[in-house]
Structure 1
């Protein structure tokens, strides 16, 4: 009786799969027609605002048992696969394969985009500015280690715009070919990852030297060639490089996240839940910073981040980077920035983009 019920349930699933397959191809055909219209009108094939709207609506319609997060992940892959039929999306990221930046790029764009690893953050900005890739993904801050200042410095040299953001949880694992801690003679790690696992390493791997490498992915690559080498890297890297877990979740603080910017040549349209990033330099007068920030308070605009960096070409002068809630097209934002400009030598709009959810 149970075997008959099992066979019936499986037959029902097979029938549903056939319907899903037919509907997916129908959806793809409609997307191809939309692509033809966009091409004729000179519109961009990728529309992050439309994608966000689709995923949000589907999550609202979801009645389970799949979670909203699972539904969004499934349909992001469908959207990514569909977009690949319209246009190949080239995405530059901080390589090599298996870095957290690579993972962030996949989570944002889906696995059907064309990902191109770059050796450093500067090359990502350059790739986007020259149009070699349509988008770039760069780390901007970690909840434990703070701001990636080199990324901020690149905004002073390049005209790439911020068109999106994504924040992902960071979890480090000790990986090796055998997964046996007793065989580990040395550990490779990116300096930031090493710092985030310092206490665990001192307690659990005393006397084992830890060597700095360019990325957690490079650490994993090195470990994939020698069973005496372990890497501090992600679960994603373990899959890519065929490594086993010698220890899981070795970060000292579990509440560890990294925020990434999505770079492009264009700004994002308003969604109603947006964040804006600007940078500005100040007049050399007493109270200049206070005067530049006061209009935000007067307009009740929430500042979510402020950071300063030395102006490379002018001794003892600084560039300030500010994130705040709102879109550049909002009337209150425009009026506020007009007030801010009175106290600045320069104000640059880096981007307005949907708040990551």
Structure 2
């Protein structure tokens, strides 16, 4: 076959792909109408998980699974945008890692609302100026994002999905590295690349700011300054990359939660998050947590936060394997409630791939 003939084949395949994509969108719009009649949520994490799993099982290559996932992410993003004017609130500004995680989860076709605090993300979803929110909850190097846990202690919102984002930190500046005497970034980011900075920039002043995006803007305005941020920020603000992958741990990953009005239906591979408080007595927490061992349920995370109602009392945030609709999970949570002064199910949702 010559090149011209192969290009004719490509043109024919493209015509068929476009036709089928529009046919798929028309079916999605019909589904959207049925959801509206039933008052159901437009975004369904359990169905999203099923679609991605199906695509992976159908894909026999040579297209990599990651590429197929990315393509279908944008197909579904376009469909969501046509079904409704979907708005996603996130901890901004643009080009932060939370923005990147939100884009990875919902694609480029929906609308995004940047907020300046985690609390504002919750407010946007609660007052329905946004359909969903994306907030960081923990980093594999620096640990928990306590502001997110504190918000969950007082909100009726639910966790409906989660996402993991590998954090690749980049040194950005429009000046040569040997002229840099000041670096802007978030305090947590400095912690994630402490060894690299000690080895490569030992005498450079570090200036913490509230976001990596603000760090880039300040670096562009300040002589002799650089910023540590994402490659996405480099593209968005047209600033040079001086060094890539400067994080101390190459597996550095941040977990994000997607919050909405309802939690997800079971998929068979789920996680449930709860918050509870126990009586102030000897063995109270041990007795509460023992229900998970009794019912053979794996607890994957526990985090404590001070109660805002009384000094020296704490709430406990726990993740367990399974969905609240599974009999053994429901039984364990019913048993847990007997040991608690309060207990709230924050959400059951599909496990994200790490």
TM-score normalised by the chain length of structure 2: 0.97
Distance 2:276 2:314 in 1: 9
Counterpart in the other structure of 1:197: 193
Counterpart in the other structure of 2:98: 101
* Structure 1, gaps ≥5 residues long: none
Counterpart in the other structure of 2:35: 38
SS at match of 2:316: strand
Contact 2:46 2:349 in 1 (8 A): no
Distance 1:38 1:221 in 2: 43
**Structure 1 segment 334-349 matched on structure 2, within 5 A:** 334-349=330-345
Contact 2:132 2:259 in 1 (8 A): yes
SS at match of 1:163: strand
1:269 to 238, 248, 265: 265
Distance 1:318 1:43 in 2: 36
SS at match of 1:321: strand
Distance 1:56 1:49 in 2: 11
**Structure 1 segment 10-25 matched on structure 2, within 5 A:** 10-25=7-22
Counterpart in the other structure of 2:318: 322
Matched, 1:246 2:238: no
Distance 2:288 2:87 in 1: 38
Matched, 1:9 2:11: no
Counterpart in the other structure of 1:144: 141
TM-score normalised by the chain length of structure 1: 0.96
Counterpart in the other structure of 1:351: 347
Report Cα offsets for 1:139-185 as digits up to 9, x if no partner. 1100010111111111112222111100110010101125x212323
* Alpha-carbon distance, 1:38 to partner: 2.1
**Structure 1 segment 179-194 matched on structure 2, within 5 A:** 180-194=176-190
Distance 1:21 1:307 in 2: 48
1:212 to 208, 214, 218: 208
Matched, 1:116 2:116: no
SS at match of 1:88: coil
SS at match of 1:308: strand
Distance 2:258 2:335 in 1: 28
* Alpha-carbon distance, 1:33 to partner: 2.0
Distance 2:219 2:156 in 1: 38
Contact 1:281 1:346 in 2 (8 A): yes
Matched, 1:332 2:337: no
1:230 to 211, 214, 226: 226
Distance 2:298 2:75 in 1: 35
RMSD across aligned C-alpha pairs, in angstroms? 1.3
* Alpha-carbon distance, 1:66 to partner: 1.1
Contact 1:173 1:232 in 2 (8 A): yes
